[in-house]
Every structure is written in C-alpha cells, then in structure tokens.
Amino acid sequence: MNINQFTKEEIFSVLKDCLKDYFEEFNLNYSSVEEKYIEREIAPVNQIYELICESNEANLKLTFNLVRYPNSSSIFIWIESVSEKGLLNLKEYFVKHKMVRFTIDYFEIDGNQFDLENKLNAFFDWLTSVTDAQLINILQGKDWVDIPFDWGDYK
C-alpha cells in the first residue's frame, strides 16, 4: 500500500513491527518508548517519523527515523551509548565497512509514492543479512565503535 494511504498511527505500527522482528532475530532486548511525529511546511523536510527504543540491559538508545522530503525519503538509524557517551549513525557504520553502494540503495528512497510495507520489509531483510558480529555486540552493549559523522551544514 502506498505510504500516502497510511495514517500516522499505521506508519508507526509498521515501523514498530519491523523493528520488533529485527530485535527478535538477534535476541536483542529493546522496547519502544517514544514516538515522535514532526511536520514542517518549509522544505527541505516535510515529515519525520521517529521511533525511539531503549535497551536497559545494554544501556543504549536506538532511534529510527523515516524522513520524508518533497521528492524522496530517507531512513536514519542512530545508536546512542549512554555509558560511552557516543552516537553512531548506522549508515556511516556500513559506509566504513565498504558497503557504500548497498547502503545507499537501502537508506535512500526515490520518489514520494512508494509501498511502505514492501520498502521497510526490504530494508530490514537487507539489514538482517548484513548485521555482523560486531554490530550485534554494539547493539547488545558489549562493544562500541567511534565513527565520525559528517554533519555538513548542520553543525
């Protein structure tokens, strides 16, 4: 179903289901704690769907963003370590691991008319297939890696 046919609540429901399946796949103990919806009338961003999950065991917070621009959308996943006082952008993690071409294909969505469930399922299928032992250790709070993020003009 086209993303424009979903209500905000339905979009968050699909996001939660996909994240829940991913967490279960790797026995990660995260729970959804907060949903944020931001709508802007001024470009470059039209809408942001933000889902924040926490793992008390790992002392981590995971933030999933679906950001809708006028002609495209993007997925951002941030992992925040409270103990390490660090922030890791998952896209940058994969770029560092030389997966640039594949990363761009899954984190960036062309157009604003797309099948939300198919796109998110494809993204999480891909994410599951490329999740390595180091990323699992990071998500479990056993390891941390500092990867610089280029904030560009947003600094």
| pTM of structure | 0.86
pLDDT digits (tens, 9 = 90+) for 94-110: 888 766 666 667 888 88
**pLDDT given at position 69:** 85
Pairwise CA distance, residues 48 & 35, whole Å? 10
Q: What is the pLDDT of residues 37-79, one digit of tens each?
A: 998 877 677 899 999 999 988 899 999 999 988 888 889 999 9
* Separation between Cα atoms, residue 56 and residue 68, nearest integer Å: 30
pLDDT over threshold 70, residue 26:
yes
